[in-house]
Amino acid sequence: MRKKQIVAMLLAGGQGSRLGILTSNMAKPAVPFGGKYRIIDFPLSNCVNSDIDTVGVLTQYQPLELNSYIGNGQHWDLDRNSGGVFVLPPFVKGKSGQWYSGTANAIFQNQMFVDQYEPKYVLILSGDHIYKMDYARMLRYHIDQQAGATIAVLQVPMDEAHRFGIMNTDAQGRIYSFEEKPKQPKSNLASMGVYIFDWPMLKRYMQADAEDPSSENDFGHDIIPAMLREGEKLCAYAFDGYWKDVGTIRSLWEANMDLLESPPLLDLYDPKWRIYSRNPIRPPHYISPSASVENCLITEGSEVYGNVEHSILFSGVYVGPGAVVKDSIVMPGARIQAGAKIYKSIIDERAEIGANTIVGDELREGVTVDNSLTGDITLVGYDMEIPDHASLPRGMVATRETLGYLYKKKGGETK
């Protein structure tokens, strides 16, 4: 196998439970984003655009969607003779074998994969952030600093710093301590979950970590603190572009809406830094004479007969005459029938909203909604069929369970 200077390992195993029903049948990195992308397109495209051509994608939760999405990697130019993209699920070794118990453990279990390429460095990425970043520049910094590990950091507002892993650095950017979600943050440099390690060094620490039964086998929790204790040189690499964690319904919605700002907060138009994805094979979209469309992103295969404002429509979406879609995200193949109103909602793939139904309706008296995950955003689940003239209150999560009463009613009428 030809040697590689660097191999990227993308942690895509997270369940993404805070995304609720959006991840009920797919891993978080496979969640659709921005009209035609999925979250994983961003780190994958960053790799390719940074000339990193060998990427391992570590999956374990609901891998089917992600597996079939990545395929042989041709959509990201990662179908290579040497290297390319590989999906790495947990596997059985002899009589043993186990699930990935933590981020570091996932890499530890796939040492053989990385070792094939005998890289000097390994880049660790996670599959739940939206950003454009040149990892090659970070690698140059890592080499120039002669660091054992380099961690990409982002300045966050001080009053939000307690939500992140915070790096405390000296004037030269060397990290002297790391605190996970500190109550009293000493700095506002938050870890972006992007690490470069010297591979031989990382292997030593992972081995020691694996032998420690009390360890959680996590980079932030165990490996980085251990390296700091041993006095390794850890450097912070400052990144100042757009970066957004899309691990919650709220942040996913916000990150989508950021694309509608003028100019968009994340520039997707840079021809030198394309975000690649598996493109739908669909004709261009159609806007009818009765439609009104303002401040939105619409992609191929959609047909718009109604009013769409400040929203994102994925491919193959139908918006019927007189329908209103406002402040919403409508995922691939969803159908909004005539006269339906969608306010501040996320409509998952293939859902169908019946005619004159209101999604994200005012909360009526006496109605209670479990909105612990959603806040004021309404969520309609995958392949759901919402009957005509229904009302889904704001913050509701519409699934077969929560909507059982509507289905019964509809069934009763037809009989």
Residues that bind another protein (CB under 8 A): 34-36, 74-75, 262, 264, 268-269, 274-277, 279, 281-289, 291-300, 312-313
Nearer to another protein, 300 or 361 (CB): 300
Nearer to another protein, 91 or 269 (CB): 269
The minimum distance between CB 281 and another protein, in angstroms, equals 4
For 413, phi and psi rounded to 5 degrees? Answer: -65, -40
The minimum distance between CB 59 and another protein, in angstroms, equals 24
164: CB partners within 8 A, 6+ apart: 156, 181, 190, 191
**Count of beta carbons in the 10 Å neighbourhood of residue 339:** 18
Helices (H), 71-157: 103-109, 111-115, 135-145
Strands, sheet with 358-361, edge to edge from the N-terminal-most edge strand: 292-294, 307-309, 324-326, 341-343, 358-361, 391-393
Question: Two tokens at 82?
Answer: 């040497």
The answer to whether residues 55 and 276 touch, using CB atoms and an 8 Å cutoff, is: no
Nearer to another protein, 143 or 260 (CB): 260
* Calpha distance 28→13 (Å, rounded): 8
User: What's the half-sphere exposure (Cβ side, CA atoms, 13 Å) at 58?
Assistant: 27
The minimum distance between CB 319 and another protein, in angstroms, equals 13
Nearer to another protein, 53 or 209 (CB): 53
Nearer to another protein, 32 or 102 (CB): 32
- Find the largest Cα–Cα distance for the chain: 75
* Calpha distance 284→299 (Å, rounded): 7
Strand partners, 312: 297, 329
Nearer to another protein, 30 or 312 (CB): 312
The minimum distance between CB 306 and another protein, in angstroms, equals 13
Per the listing, tokens 């959509």 go with 75
Nearer to another protein, 59 or 299 (CB): 299
The minimum distance between CB 300 and another protein, in angstroms, equals 6
User: What's the half-sphere exposure (Cβ side, CA atoms, 13 Å) at 107?
Assistant: 30
- 49 residue type, one letter: N
The minimum distance between CB 52 and another protein, in angstroms, equals 18
The minimum distance between CB 190 and another protein, in angstroms, equals 28
